[in-house]
Structure 1
């Protein structure tokens, strides 16, 4: 049994970390690394108490935390078992965001206020920006924390943004369509405040998606950072075969390929257009930045 393989001081009162947090971290690591697959029975409260020399109340607090994270299922008379994975898949190269890609998504506006941020001001090309902080949840569980910077002139309200898509609101209210952008993805550790909002332990792995979005005129509309729970959200990518086609743009806006079809018949024109579109798709697949949702 995996419990027997652990050192007795894996949960140590001498450490500054609370005992329940130490125990939940031990079990969590075994679940996330695959040592405890879905459906695995966890040790009983009595076994955990005896193994680490801690009180049963500490054990219960640790198991409740894991239950709240969706990692463990508990039931009277059946003990604790590892929960099936509750993954949400997100296509990061699509413009649509979590609010349109997932079912049962809710959006809570944590704050919306003016904020001085040199990077956001420089990126958006305006002096007055507002910072929009939101929490996205799926099936009642938080999955993403979003910080977005927007020009103050857009004049959005928390009421409009609650349980709504920012991109849809911009299109409906201001006629602004987000058509392209640059995105970066990196793995980061949850800060204490992020951990509290996302209901994970501080230091837990998060997937950070950050970038800037542009409208049809190539003007920047938003700068954002979104922290996703790595145990709940999976980033999917559609991969296409690249070729030697040269990149013709640095802004993400597609440029037409050269070629004259004015003297061709309708069928020949269609075939030429298909070739141009395929070349452009291959070009974008091998050179263009990932365009993902920031709303």
Structure 2
């Protein structure tokens, strides 16, 4: 079971000692009060090297420390969430965001865990579903297959360095990967497995990306409040013979990472 971010015990020397290090507000300054609160908290994070995922003081504590209203504190923290400096967990408070990784997997045919492994990141996987079945209409349309064509379905929730990052619902033609539904996949890269065991090569992929809310079980698996915006990805991949053989959808947290694309002109 993945542990949601921010559920660890409070790091030693974190929010309990913030009071001595926060800069007081100045009501005669030109900068609005919320901007002063934001600047003070930002300096604490960036200059004092506050630990990733350290819990910040509560809104009430910050109001008392800065001598400002809850509206001022909330505006400052909302701006910091937008800039990726902190994140909120419903009912738990605000926490220092981790340093963002840069990931290329969306712009290539390399799998998520394989790409992270190259960066010496520990990726853990939880298998949610692993079985064969018939394609639903959306997959049937995009892969251009008959309704009787069987697929192998593998749904996974993945974490990086213990922090939930992504949910992937993946499918591939069973004729390409027979027996994959029975293979243990918890401790291995799916793309490494299909490459080594079946010689599968993906030549290109088409992907659609949009912001979507994390709902229900997905929000719980990602360790975020229901309705939190995440990146939704839909992908269709083709083998060297230009046959569509793979389909997946993914929900991806971008609060600790950013995605990298390489774009080239079709004339070069």
Point out where structure 2 has 5 or more consecutive residues left out of the alignment: 1-21, 26-34, 46-54, 71-85
- 2:73: which partner in 1? none
- 1:147: which partner in 2? 169
Q: More displaced, 141-150 or 104-113?
A: 104-113
- 1:105: which partner in 2? 123
For residues 59-78 of structure 1, the aligned pairs below 5 Å read 71=87
What per-residue deviation string (whole Å, max 9, x for no partner) do you get for residues 15-62 of structure 1? xxxxxxxxxxxxxxx9xx99954745843586389988xxxxxxxxxx
Which TM-score applies when normalising by structure 1?
Answer: 0.55
C-alpha separation in 1, matches of 2:43 and 2:232: 26
C-alpha separation in 2, matches of 1:212 and 1:36: 43
C-alpha separation in 1, matches of 2:108 and 2:132: 29
Which TM-score applies when normalising by structure 2?
Answer: 0.60
- 2:139: which partner in 1? 120
Bigger share in helix: 1
Shift of 1:166: 2.2
Which structure has the bigger radius of gyration? Answer: 1
Point out where structure 1 has 5 or more consecutive residues left out of the alignment: 5-29, 53-69, 73-79, 248-278, 283-295
- 2:4: which partner in 1? none
- 1:287: which partner in 2? none
What per-residue deviation string (whole Å, max 9, x for no partner) do you get for residues 261-283 of structure 1? xxxxxxxxxxxxxxxxxx4xx3x
**C-alpha RMSD of the superposition:** 3.4
Shift of 1:234: 1.0
Query: Per the alignment, do residues 133 and 166 of structure 1 end up closer, same or farther by CA in structure 2, a change over 3 Å counting?
Result: same
What is the aligned counterpart of 2:98 among 65, 85, 88?
85
> Does the aligned pair in 2 maintain the 1:205–1:230 contact within 8 Å?
no
C-alpha separation in 1, matches of 2:208 and 2:160: 23
- 1:172: which partner in 2? 196
> Does the aligned pair in 1 maintain the 2:154–2:181 contact within 8 Å?
no
Secondary structure of the equivalent of 1:161?
coil
Query: Per the alignment, do residues 233 and 176 of structure 1 end up closer, same or farther by CA in structure 2, a change over 3 Å counting?
Result: same
Aligned residues: 191
C-alpha separation in 2, matches of 1:227 and 1:218: 26
- 1:162: which partner in 2? 186
